[in-house]
Structure 1
């Protein structure tokens, strides 16, 4: 009997253990010598990605924050130290079936991540200063999106022998499916966060790799784009060109075409691996045992599984999550005041017909509507103290442009009809008031966004990032009084489990609460996980209680437990905590109780007050704080349709009807 000639796998890992640094070495910090944690990652890992198989092998890597999803993808690409070194190999790349260009794993296995650390970025413009994307001036290095997709990112591009460039049919299909046609001639620096994500995925697809590793590819994308991207990836998976491996948070619905699943523990080890249905069935049985009083593995928390199990199909999200099946309850624990009982203050933001244009292109406010029988154009919007706004709309509709106007990063704030804190950016004759300066605005607005994440210096320490909320720039010296110092200390202690990479090495959470937060001066921002970076930027936006808090996709990249802890902190500060104790992640999230700090009268950081306004931008209803009641939904760019406004009768998270109303579904 003839044995079919089956090619070797693309990636083979046989009983390998991985480390970030050489075991036994000591890393020296910038403030004083200390030993960074260097635990063994995925001890005894065995994994194979076939180059060809009779049945599909489309893998997803899922797990809560700090479980190592990104690290796992990096290991598949050949990064991190492997022991023994021979345990990891790429046998298929050595065969004659692979072109000479793709013999190296670094070229054959493409990684697309969105951790803002530069890998897979949008070229030179990605490092420009924060407001550069809003200016009309074009630099010689301002390459267009078309150039970026075609790989023409050099001043004197040249082709190597055998480099045939990008296939024209593939280019056309990818551009259409990712809705990039109208953006091709724009500089990449002009792209919004969501548009930039789509561009990076498109560029990776156009390089024709053997394997494409996508790190949370649907994060930050609006529902219509997700609906279009998933079928595109499915068609690629069906042809195994390229083979796909993606990562996801437990609460993210998995595309229906995913066939195999790895679920990771919080200690960077594999919890369970195999056929997707077999893995999900095993997790269901585990949850059932814990719900019936059985022991819970601390590294495999049940609460992280509460929203897992839903499926992303071409018709939308279907199926029940484990939380619905086993009644794993989630509570943010704060009862909002009825709208009629809220005390609203003076306007903090007044936009009276804002229309942002770059030449002939209108980025915001490209509509005309009738009010009181008169045609008016542009965005009319007022935000008052005490209001809690949600701003929604498709990628590219102008949400980030609105944020740039609020934070005065946009040069057109000088010429548009905008008032911030009752004042204009330009002198007003006869008003007797000096014009509002950039520094006035920055001192009164707390802002977390993907743009801030991209530009935050990676070599600032955790403490320096948090303290920069009181500084004029990221690197300038903060103006901290005693109250501010206490707020910084209290916030770092409250989120030590999420922000301190060495927290797992401490004897117990109780012992950590009695020591100083010196670790915050030991670790740099760039050393933290993506989730921890997002947490730190969220805390930076709210810690000094600014007049306006702007949270632009602030909770993306966090798992549900960490997200809900941040939500509770936003609402109540140190005053409330989950019943499981301390500020740590709860075993269950059904009960919120007063914290020891509240009972002892030692609360240093409080939640949102009636004197503050909140503006939240998100594409996922679970990432919108329960307190949001007013909403603004921007139309698809250049459709001529006006912005829509409304008021919610309850939290978005608990009612899909409210979410459908906002999106007009």
Structure 2
């Protein structure tokens, strides 16, 4: 039998050398860990690392690829890679074990972030093509992204990628029609699929996928899971996934690692054994026979083990259902002030229409493009497949897209261009930015990593990401209140036991930089930034992806009720101890909410109006509707939004 690809025998891991002097704590991670990823097991082993926010899922994957310090150094090895049968191009673990994550910080040399576009402002993605970012998706996949590329192997021994492999990967990941587009034009979901494709083209022995389904629309998830299953079954490459506790697990996963909240392994082994042990733990606590381990919280285990199916509705079934459930919004309160008005918007790149390739019926007949009005007090959900134009809609709302000037759009009752005879000056970019709170993958990508946690939140009062914010005493009070409220979610675990300081225990917010905290904590900070100053419009574009259910639910409660409500240990909503002196209130009837999400649990319960964009270039119209209640509580409502038929079983 061949030796394992990765072998860890009694290793303890550290971010920095245990004897190094540092102002930040350096606790041991995964103490006395033993783990093997076999190269040729008698029975297939398909692993998934599961854990709540701040438990160290990404850290575990980075440890597998050799990024953390091992004590002793010999505890971690890669035995198979030194065998004669291992290809010469994969003798280096950095090439043999590839990591694909969706935090912009991890996106080195990659797509939509890192060294490619991180220095540009948001609108730069939509401007004319520039020398350093004008390479196409085809170039990106083949590694042709530099004028003088280094001689490093990408696919075969000579660094080339076979046509057959390229065709299969782009077909399976639904990228064929995008090959000639500049990578800066890709949507978030398309960019994520592209990064997976590029990793597959390097033909690694092991592919570490950090929450691969995060941010993908349900049809794409249903199609991607079987693709990953086929790769796993052929062991080409061997896959190790990560997931949150509430995420459905692909049915083909055989082994689990469940992490505690202190970066230690809580349980590891065959999936059935791990899930059975966690289930007995939860039952024991509910019956009173066991006491809850605060590092293994019960609330994070309630949904563990749900199964992600491998089938998806056919295009014809979906189209038929789509036509059947379209609703109107004739009961809309037209007396409320319109904040966003789009009256037939089409966004084009050359002869390609990326948004608004349809006609909508109006009282004056049919009109091409998106027609949509958002009024004060409304709570909108914007849905649609990856590439349908959701990110483009957000860029039009924030006026980041240069075509905003030429399209029939009004924001806060005014146009971006002078209107003869109106007596009103045109809106400036800064006018709009000051009245819209925005959290999205693009904001996440561009937020400076050397900002402190406090600076990220205070940036809500700044004109640009690096400008100095202008805060009055009330604003400072709001920032302190929010940081204190979300301290368990923002403050690195290693610092949680530090004694309180004279500032009420908030010194950590000035000590830790945005780039030092976990992906989930970064998303929490950006969420706070989006709504902390009570803007007229709050835009949450995949704002809750990457959070576990408890963190997400706390953010949603803060969104609607501010500090006045909280969750008790049983998960019930109760009045908070600070309700009488609340500095931060939730959404008011003077504000509008626009939420973009692909998972029903990430749609705030207050959302009632919805817009579902059609798949790109189908010619099908956008659909609108109204929800009778929270979409997260009813599979039928969610199925209706997406246009799935009666056999829908969830995902």
Partner Cα distance (1:68, 1:525) in 2: 17
2:437 to 427, 446, 459: 446
Segment drifting more, 466-475 vs 134-143: 134-143
| Matched residue, 2:327 | none
CA distance in 2, matches of 1:138, 1:396: 22
| CA apart distance, 1:564 | 0.3
Corresponding residue of 2:573? 592
Task: Tell me if structure 2 keeps the 8 A contact 1:496–1:503.
Answer: no
Find the counterpart in structure 1 of residue 323 from structure 2.
Answer: none
C-alpha displacement at 1:470, in angstroms?
Answer: 0.1
Name 1:582's counterpart in structure 2: none
**Pairwise mapping of residues 224-235 of structure 1 onto structure 2 (< 5 A)?**
224-235=219-230
**Offset, 1:301:** 0.5
Q: Distance in 2 between matches of 1:119 and 1:634?
A: 28
- The correspondence of residues 263-278 of structure 1 with structure 2, limited to 5 A, is 263-278=258-273
Distance in 2 of aligned mates of 1:341 and 1:364:
24
Structure 2 residue aligned with 1:458 = 449
Equivalences for 1:354-503 in 2 at 5 Å?
354-372=345-363, 374-502=365-493
For this pair of structures, how many residues does the alignment match? Answer: 620
Q: Deviations over 1:548-582 (max 9, x none)?
A: 00000000000000000001100100101112xxx
Mapped partners of 2:257, 2:345: distance in 1: 48
TM-fit CA distance, 1:340: 8.8
1:575 is aligned to 564
Task: Evaluate the alpha carbon distance shift between residue 547 and residue 305 of structure 1 in structure 2; reply closer, same or farther with a 3 A threshold.
Answer: same
Structure 1 counterpart of 2:54:
66
1:167 is the counterpart of 2:158: no
1:501 Cα deviation from its structure 2 partner:
1.1
Q: Deviations over 1:360-410 (max 9, x none)?
A: 111100012433472210000000000000000000000000000000100
TM-score, with structure 1 as normaliser: 0.91
Question: Partner of 2:510 in structure 1?
Answer: 521
1:286 alignment partner in structure 2: 281
Listed one character per residue, the Cα deviations across residues 74-121 of structure 1 (whole Å, up to 9, x for unaligned) are: 000001110001100001000111111111111100000011104352
2:618 is aligned with 1:639: yes
Q: Per-residue displacement from partner, 1:397-448 (whole Å, max 9, x unpaired)?
A: 0000000000010001111000000000001111111110000000000000
How far apart are the structure 2 equivalents of 1:526 and 1:191?
25
The 8 Å contact of residues 25 and 494 in structure 2, kept in 1 or not, is answered as no
Q: TM-score, normalised by structure 2?
A: 0.93
User: How big is the shift at 1:456?
Assistant: 0.5
How far apart are the structure 1 equivalents of 2:332 and 2:566?
25
Unaligned runs of 5+ in 2: 314-329, 645-651
Which residue number corresponds to residue 117 of structure 1? 105
What SS does the aligned partner of 1:244 have? strand
Asked if residue 308 in structure 1 is aligned to residue 304 in structure 2, the reply is yes
- Note if 1:547 corresponds to 2:542: no
Q: What SS does the aligned partner of 1:47 have?
A: strand
Equivalent in the alignment of 2:121: 129
SS in 2 for 1:137: coil
The separation in 2 between residues aligned to 1:489 and 1:256, in whole angstroms, is 44
Q: Distance in 2 between matches of 1:160 and 1:574?
A: 53
Rounded Cα–Cα distance in structure 1 between residues aligned with 2:621 and 2:233: 40
The answer to whether structure 1 residue 41 and structure 2 residue 29 are counterparts is: yes
Structure 1 unmatched ranges of 5 or more: 1-5, 28-34, 318-338, 580-586
SS at match of 2:581: coil
Aligned ranges for residues 95-114 of structure 1 at < 5 Å? Answer: 95-114=83-102
The alignment's C-alpha RMSD in Å is: 1.9
Give the drift of 1:125: 3.3
**Structure 1 residues 520 and 164: alpha-carbon distance in aligned structure 2, compared to 1, 3 A threshold:** closer
C-alpha spacing 1:81/1:247, structure 2 compared with 1 (3 Å): same
1:530 to 506, 519, 543: 519
Aligned counterparts of 1:473 and 1:22: Cα–Cα separation in 2: 37
Q: 1:80 to 1:252 in 2, by over 3 A?
A: same
